[in-house]
Chain A
Amino acid sequence: MNIVVLVKQVPDTSDPETEVIIDSTGRGIDESKLSFVINDADNYAVEEAVRLKEKHGGEITLVCLGRESANQVIRMALAKGADSAIRLDDEKFSYSDPITTAKILKTALDGLDYDLVLTGCMASDDGYTAIGVALAKMLGLPHAAMVKSVEVIGDNKMKIGRELEGGLMEMNEVDMPCLLTIQTGINEPRYASFKGIREASRKEIKVMDLAATGLSEEEVGEAGSKAVMAQYSVPEVGELAEILEGDASETSAKLAEILKEKGLV
C-alpha cells in the first residue's frame, strides 16, 4: 500500500515566549524569533501512515510546500519511516490561496503511484481546513475530512471514523485510492530513533520549482489565486480579564480571596 503524506512546517505558536508579530509588508510575520515544527495534525498523519506501512507494506512519500528550512521537518518524518520526499519551493508560490496551494501540491502527486493520501485536517498557522479536501477533488479521489480512526477492510476499502462535534463519530466506508484528512489524537506519534535519523540523512528529498510543476507564473501565487489574504491586522481585543498583578504569592492570594468572596471555595 503506497501512501502520500502532506507535511507542512509551521511556527510553534504554543510556546509562550514567541510572539506573533506582523512584519513590515503587512502580509507576513516576523519569523526571526520563532521556532518551527511539523504541523500538529500532520505529525499524526505521518504516524498513521507509518503504522499502515508496518501492517500492509508499501512506500511512503512525503510532499511539502516550503523553503529549505522545512527539510528539518521532512527529515524527522523520514526518520520515522517515510521513504522519500518531494519539496515544492519557489518564490512565485508565495501568497497562494488554499485552492492554488492544493493545485501546486497536486503537481507533486501527479507522477506518483498511491493507494492513499493523508493530510492533516488543519494547519495551525493558516488554519484553512481546506487544502486536503480541495486536493482530493483535483485528484478525482473520494475523501473524508476529520478522520480519527482508520482500518483497511478487504481489498481497496477502508472503514474510517470522522470525528464530529461533541465527540460523536461518523463511520464511513471509503473506496481506495482515497484522501483522508487526519485529526489530532488519532494515534500516539512516535519519536524518531537514532537509527532512523541516521538513515533519513541518506533518503532523497526531491525539490520541484515552478518550472518543474509545469504550471505557469499566472497560475500560482497571488496571480493564480482568487481569494488572497491582502492584509494582516492585530485583532481588536474584546474586554480583557481583570489581570491580577504581583508575584505568584500575591496573585494567588488575591485570586483565593476573590474566589472566597464569590463563594467558590
Chain B
Amino acid sequence: MHDIFVLAEHRQGELREVTLEMMTLAGQLAEQSGGKVTAVLLGSGVDEFAQKCAQYADRVLYVDDPIFENFNAMAYVPALAQLIEEQKPHLVLIAHTTQGVDVAPALAVELDAPFTTEIIEMSLEGEKPAATRQYYGGKINGRIEFKDSDVYLVTVREAAVPAGEATKSGEVQKVENPLKGEAGGRRFLEYVEAAVGEVDITQSEKLVSVGRGIKEEKNVPLMEELAKVLGADLSGSRAAVDAGWLPTDRQVGISGKTVKPKLYLAVGISGAFQHVTGIKGADVVVAINKDPNAPIFQYADYGIVDDLFKVVPALTEKLKEVK
C-alpha cells in the first residue's frame, strides 16, 4: 500500500485553501497508483481543521501540540521527518507557498529523498513519479526524472489543480508529538499586517498596472496620465514596487493584492505566475508588451505587441477622443 502524504497548512485560525488543492491532487495520484491519501496536520487545538481535511483524505494524522500553534520551520522539519520515517509514505506533497519553501528543502536533505519544487504536473507511472516544472520565469518547461527511492518529496505550485469536492470521510488519528524539546534556534514572535494605503486596489474598478518594462521612475507620470483618462488606479508588479516606483500596497500578485477590476491593463509586465495569480478575478485583461512570447499574453483578452513608450501616449490621446 502506497501512502501519499499532504502537509496541511494553516495560519491565523484558518486552514489554507491550497491544502484542499493539494489533497485533491493527491487523490488523483492515489487513483493512478492505488494508494491512499494522508493529510498531516501540525497544529494546536485545531480539531475543526482535522475534520475538514478528513473530507478530502483517507486519513488525517493530527499532532496537537502548542508548539505548532504558529508555523515554525525549525519545528516542522524534524517533526515531519520523524512522521515520514515511521509511516513510510511513498510520496510527500507540500504546497510551494511561503511555508512550503521554508520546510521542504530542509526536509529533503534530512530524508535524503529525491526532491524537486513547484511542479505544475505530476504522474505516478508505475510507482515512480515524473514531474514537470517551469524555468526562466515560465518561458520553458522542464521534465524532472527521479532516481529510485522509497520516498519522494515535491512542492506543488498553488492552483496546479483546482480544489475538488469533499467526497471522503477519512479517519482522524491523533498522534503524539514526535518532536521532543524546542524548535532549534527560531522562535515565532508575531504577525504584522501590511500597511493600508490611500487607495485600496482590491476595490478598484479599473487598474493600469506597470512593470519593470517602464524602466524608470520618471516614466510613472506617463502611466498616471493614462490611468487618469481611464478613471483607473495605478498598480504594479513586484519589480515596480521593489524599485520604489510605487508604494507596497499597490503590488498585485501572490505576495501583494488579489484584485478584481473590470479592466486590468498590464503595461511592461511579463506575467510571472506570482503576478497573474493576483488577477484571476479581473474581467477584461489587456497587455502591452514588446515581447510577443511574454507569458502575460496567455492571460490577457487583448494584446498589443509593441514598445509601450509608443503605445501609451497614443492610447492616452485616443481615449481622450473617444470619451
Contacts and interface: CB of A to CB of B under 8 A. Distances in A.
A226 interface: yes
Contacts of A233: 140-143
Interface stretch (B159-167, B173-181, B305-313): B305-313
B191 A169 contact: yes
Interface stretch (A1-9, A86-94, A192-200, A257-265): A257-265
B123 interface: no
Q: How large is the interface on B (under 10, 10 to 19, 20 to 34, 35 or more residues)?
A: 35 or more
Interface in B285-323: 285-287, 289-294, 297-307, 310-311, 314-315, 317-319, 321-323
Contacts of A173: 186-187, 189
B117 A128 contact: yes
Interface in A149-164: 159, 161-164
B79 interface: no
B93 to A, nearest CB: 14
B74 interface: yes
Interface string B164-201: 00000000000000000000111111111110000000
Contacts of A185: 238, 241-242, 248
Given A146-B101, A241-B300, A256-B321, A227 B188 contact: no
A247 B193 CA distance: 45
B297 A241 contact: yes
A111 interface: no
A175 B238 CA distance: 30
A14 B140 contact: no
A98 B106 CA distance: 12
A166 interface: yes
A167 to B, nearest CB: 4
Given A168-B191, A235-B134, A256-B321, A130 B98 contact: no
Given A131-B105, A264-B263, A228 B188 contact: no
A144 to B, nearest CB: 7
A215 interface: no
Contact of B291 (A16, A99, A165): A16
Interface in B95-147: 96-98, 101-106, 108-110, 113-118, 134-147
B141 A184 contact: no
A22 B137 contact: no
Contacts of B294: 16
A126 B138 CA distance: 10
A249 interface: yes
Nearest to B268: A16
B248 A167 contact: yes
A129 interface: yes
B63 interface: no
Interface stretch (A51-59, A67-75, A133-141, A204-212): A133-141
A143 interface: yes
Contacts of A255: 286, 302, 304, 315, 318
Contacts of B142: 229-233
A97 interface: yes
Contacts of A174: 185-187
Contacts of A127: 118, 134-137
Contacts of A143: 73-74, 102, 106, 186
A244 interface: yes
A219 to B, nearest CB: 13
B275 interface: no
Pick the most buried of A20, A145, A183, A247: most chain B CB atoms within 10 A of its CB: A145
Nearest to A146: B98
The interface residues of chain A, by DSSP majority, are classed as: mixed
B262 interface: yes
Contacts of A19: 293
A108 B188 CA distance: 31
Contacts of A14: 212-213, 239, 270
Contact of B110 (A121, A137, A237): A137
B257 interface: yes
B186 A142 contact: yes
A133 B105 contact: yes
A253 interface: yes
A144 B192 contact: no
B105 A227 contact: no
A227 B257 CA distance: 34
B74 A142 contact: yes
Contacts of A162: 98, 102
B284 interface: yes
A118 B255 CA distance: 21
Contact of A129 (B96, B139, B254): B96
A247 B298 CA distance: 22
B29 to A, nearest CB: 17
A242 B134 CA distance: 25
B74 A258 contact: no
Interface of A: 11, 13-14, 16, 19-20, 22, 29, 97-99, 102, 121, 124-134, 136-138, 141-146, 159, 161-175, 178, 183-185, 188, 225-235, 237-244, 247-249, 251-253, 255-260, 262, 264-265
Given A143-B106, A241-B297, A251-B304, 6 more contacts: A20-B136, A97-B115, A137-B109, A143-B74, A243-B297, A264-B262
19 contacts: A14-B239, A16-B294, A20-B139, A98-B116, A102-B105, A125-B136, A128-B117, A137-B105, A166-B256, A167-B194, A169-B194, A171-B192, A178-B186, A226-B115, A227-B144, A231-B143, A234-B140, A240-B297, A255-B304
